[in-house]
Amino acid sequence: MADGVTLAIVGATGAVGQEMLKVLAERDFKIKELICLADPREEGTPIEFKGETFTVKGADKEAFKKADLALFAVGTDVSRQLAPLAVENNCVVIDNSYAFRLDEDVPLVVPEVNAEDVSMHRGIISNPNCSTIIMVVAINPIHQVSRLKRVVVSTYQAVSGAGKAGLDELDQHIRAHMAGEMPKLQVFKYPIAFNVIPHIDEFVDDDYTREEMKMVWETRKIMHVPDLRVSATAVRVPVYRSHSEAIHLETEGPLSVEKVKEILSKAPGVVVQDDPVNNLYPMPLYTSHKDEVYVGRIRRDISVENGIVMWVAADQIRKGAATNAVQIAEIVVDRNLY
């Protein structure tokens, strides 16, 4: 539509919902009418967008009757409840939760990797896990040149991945540590200040966590490689924002480090930041509030034939959530898929 779409933001008061609004404004996404939705208990909350004030309404079936498109920034249970109601009203849903990611008839999309999958939607498109998004943006360009045989990844995940409560808990734990007091454990299993915790989400089969298995299942689906061998270790670190990942790749054919750098330097959404002589490499402090995936420390894996190691950092609230969802929305609108 030349004059824009009627867009609903579900979870508009939350961290990701707020970031979605910021990204929509930055990218000048054409909106005819904006509908801000949240928990009914937050009804009446004012939201600022492009110099205008919008009033939050409670999210229910009626709210989707006018919307062409809805960005969901809520938990899995809420998405499972509300997304089908939106679809019933011919509103296309882009969902940030885990609710539909592995459903066969729901595309799981990272635009730099599998934008063409958007056209296969039946009303719902899923936004992948933040760590998965960051990783596939970095590894898919390599896969396109020499097929990946194996991926081993360790994530270093910021506390903001656990929402505002995670940020508040890091603050509280720092203060408690400095005062010699016992920290209150609400979000994390152990003190997060001055510590790392190798446990995110629930433990499932073979003592992997669900967060780790999301990276296995989702990477295979996004890249259309159902037999890709992936192993992940997910670690929470005392960083406020932006996830980092150490990624070990094994390719079918040999690739020089110089070739990998050349591939990644031309890849959409990737910034190569690799100059060890001058101590230049990606770090979460400097990748926060940016949309690109930064890649550095690119080197040969000396433990395996045809192996490459890289270090990646990216803002998991932006590219790992809000920006990726808005990019999907742009595809839906540009291709008239709503």
Cβ contacts of 15 within 8 Å, gap of 6 or more? 160, 163, 164, 317
Residue indicated by tokens 């990276």: 215
Distance CA 74, CA 82 (A): 10
Query: Distance (Å, rounded) from C-alpha 288 to C-alpha 274?
Result: 18
Can you tell me which residue has the tokens 């750098």?
261
CA distance 75 to 178: 34
Per annotation, catalytic residue among 36, 91, 121, 130: 130
Which position among 121, 143, 173, 243 bears the catalytic label? 243
Cα 267 to Cα 16, 79, 143, 147, 166, distances in angstroms: 26, 32, 12, 16, 33
Among the listed residues 154, 304, 303, 302, the one whose alpha carbon sits nearest the alpha carbon of residue 231 = 154
Three-class secondary structure of residue 158 per DSSP: coil
Phi first, then psi, for residue 139 (nearest 5°) are -100, -25
End-to-end CA distance of the chain: 10
Would you say 311 and 297 are in contact if contact means Cβ atoms under 8 Å apart?
yes
In the annotation, is 36 catalytic?
no
Using only C-alpha atoms, what is the Rg of the chain?
Answer: 20
Instruction: Write the single-letter amino acid at 325.
Output: A
The answer to whether residues 338 and 332 touch, using CB atoms and an 8 Å cutoff, is yes
Question: 107, 101, 63, 102: which is closest to 85 by C-alpha?
Answer: 63
Instruction: Give the span between the Cα atoms of 177 and 32, in whole angstroms.
Output: 50
User: For this structure, is 248 an active site residue?
Assistant: no
Contact between 108 and 126 under an 8 Å Cβ cutoff? The reply is: yes
Catalytic (active-site) positions = 130, 243
